[in-house]
Structure 1
Amino acid sequence: MDKKNFLNNFTLDDTGALASLYEDIELCKKIQYPIHTKIFFPPEVWSTLENMKNSLGIEVESKGVKQESEKRVILIKPLAYGEYFEDYPFAYFEIRGGSKFKELEHRHFLAAIMGLGIKREMLGDLIVKEGVCYGVIFRDLFNFLENNLKVIGKIKVEVSETEEKNIPEMEFEEITYLVSSLRLDSIVAAITEKSRSQATELIREGTVSLNYSVRREKDASIKDGDIITVRRKGKFIFEKVTGVSKKGKQRVVLKKYK
């Protein structure tokens, strides 16, 4: 596959990042050795690449701060390479504030890190729990972060490296809906609190993604573990069907990303 056809498969505007990804793929196939990408990619890239791996003749893995992470480093492997045991090139960290009176939020941590000149694509998702920020950053940038992030607003903070096992789980809101079927239009109608025809229009407009790929087929089937994203409404994981109502509707549970 040439570069032009490769780029046409993606919706990301950053063609420079995609061109670099293509070069990493070509280098991997040339040297027959795994390569990590040099930035964290959003889901519309790593999920699309996973769907393209057979036509590209490669194996694809990706990893972020947690299994459910959106921003991930991609590992490109030659076909039939087998197990790859080297660590991903990033460091897990935590940022703790010293104030007992004000609890820092996600936006405060992200703004402070980027205020140091660290680009967003050099950083994975951030998880904030009880005022502590957990995240992942490329290892060659960790010391810079540790040595330079000392204050957020007027609150003194301390950055330290931690282990993957210490990163808390991402938090979700569990919501139960009644739906007439497990089709995409029915689920979107429930999430958006709109009619089935209005949900169909949202799908046709391209505002709905299924497993990070835009889907325009209203009758797409939904199964356990599928990730549904509706623009301006959020991202949901289809958890399970729990039963049927007296009127014959299916009772389903979705987890909404907080």
Structure 2
Amino acid sequence: MTKDDELLCKRLKELAFNTCNKGFTTYSEFLNLNELNLLLSIKKELPPVEIDLYGGYEGAERKMVCFYQFTNDYDRKFPIHCVRITPRNVKFCDVLTHRDYLGALLNLGIERYTIGDIIIKNKEGYVFCNDKMCNYIIQNLTRIKHTDVRCTQDDDLMMNVAHQFQEIRGTVASVRLDAVLSLAFNGSRSSLSNLITAGKVFVNSRLIESNSYTLKEGDVVSVRGYGKFIYQEQQNQTKKGRYFVVLMKYI
């Protein structure tokens, strides 16, 4: 565990104990998959409080942690807003990538942990951020690469984000993680196995380091640098003993 990991674990414990001892609801900053996995690893060391995870919309990858007491469930509202980023001249705007949006935000001096997911749809960007950063982004983000942009708060999107998926159907020798990764990302089983041992594969936000991990229907698999998919279902076996499976890959 690195020094940063230790500091994060300490911070999460402080938030949980504040909720337990003082009774009020607490929230972390946005956590990435590695950091969410750390939370799972220290769960037994936390006091008896309720835990919820949310990133601004269903299926978000970067999420805040909320610690609360069951009696204060009504008081739970994540401090997350959505900023809509629109080109001022759509006809002449650049084709902006996730990296372009993130780079422009970080160049404003914004810390990464204050920003959640960034979604790109129809030449517009949607940035999920904590409540302290919302107005700052709106007032200061005016240009991304060569494109002039305007920013507005659009929290309605938080209730209406619809993911787009590519359905992948195929057969695998087994429902082991390495075999399903090979189907999902159209690569060799051996090369994708290296991603597992390198600590780049997460199932339901938990780091998985075993190639033989068996997936269950509904599992969400995230692979750093490759993307993520839902292990939708396992259907019939073929005559050769292979398993027919259906995956829903995020696009």
Number of aligned residue pairs = 246
Q: How far has the Cα of 1:204 moved from its partner?
A: 5.1
Taking the aligned partners of 1:119 and 1:202, their CA distance within structure 2 comes to 28
Tell me the secondary structure at the aligned position of residue 126 of structure 1. strand
Please say if 1:26 is aligned against 2:20: no
Residue 146 of structure 1 is aligned with which of 138, 150, 172? 138
- Equivalent in the alignment of 1:59: 50
Task: Describe how 1:181-196 pairs up with structure 2 within 5 A.
Answer: 181-191=174-184, 193-195=187-189
Q: Deviations over 1:71-102 (max 9, x none)?
A: 11110123x43623442112122010023133
Distance in 2, matches of 1:219 and 1:67, equals 29
> Could you tell me which residue of structure 1 aligns to residue 155 of structure 2?
163
Partner secondary structure for residue 232 of structure 2: strand
Query: In the alignment, does 2:102 pair up with 1:96?
Result: no
Q: Tell me, yes or no, if the aligned pair for 2:201 and 2:208 is still in contact at 8 Å.
A: yes
Residue of structure 2 in register with 1:119 after alignment:
111
Question: 1:1-258 counterparts in 2 under 5 A?
Answer: 13-37=4-28, 39-50=29-40, 52-53=42-43, 55-56=45-46, 57-78=48-69, 80-81=70-71, 83-99=73-89, 100-102=91-93, 103-165=95-157, 167-191=160-184, 193-195=187-189, 203=196, 206-258=199-251
In structure 1, list runs of 5 or more residues that go unmatched. 1-7
Q: Between 104-113 and 50-59, report the one with greater CA deviation.
A: 50-59
Distance in 1, Cα, partners of 2:227 & 2:128: 23
Using the alignment, how far apart are the partners of 2:98 and 2:230 within structure 1? 22
Superposed CA RMSD: 2.8
Distance in 2 between the 1:51 and 1:202 partners? Answer: 21
Contact 1:225 1:237 (8 Å CA) reproduced:
yes
Equivalent residue for 1:3? none
Q: Which amino acid aligns with 2:36?
A: W
Task: From the superposition, tell whether residues 205 and 146 of structure 1 become closer, same or farther in structure 2 (CA, over 3 Å).
Answer: closer
Q: CA deviation at 1:200?
A: 6.0
The alpha carbon displacement at 1:232 in A equals 4.8
How far apart in 1 are the matches of 2:138 and 2:199? 41
Q: Say which SS state the counterpart of residue 81 (structure 1) adopts.
A: helix
Is the contact between residue 124 and residue 137 of structure 1 (CA under 8 Å) also seen in structure 2?
yes
Quick one: structure 1 residues 188 and 58, their matched pair in 2 at CA, closer, same or farther if it must change by over 3 Å?
same
Over the matched positions of the two proteins, sequence identity in percent amounts to: 27
TM-score of the pair, normalised by structure 2: 0.83
Query: Is the deviation greater in 226-235 or in 66-75?
Result: 226-235
What's the TM-score, normalizing by structure 1?
A: 0.81
Distance 1:159 1:231, change over 3 A: closer
SS in 2 for 1:60: strand
Could you say which structure has the greater relative contact order, defined with CA pairs below 8 angstroms and 6 or more residues apart? 2
Name the amino acid aligned to 2:188.
Answer: K
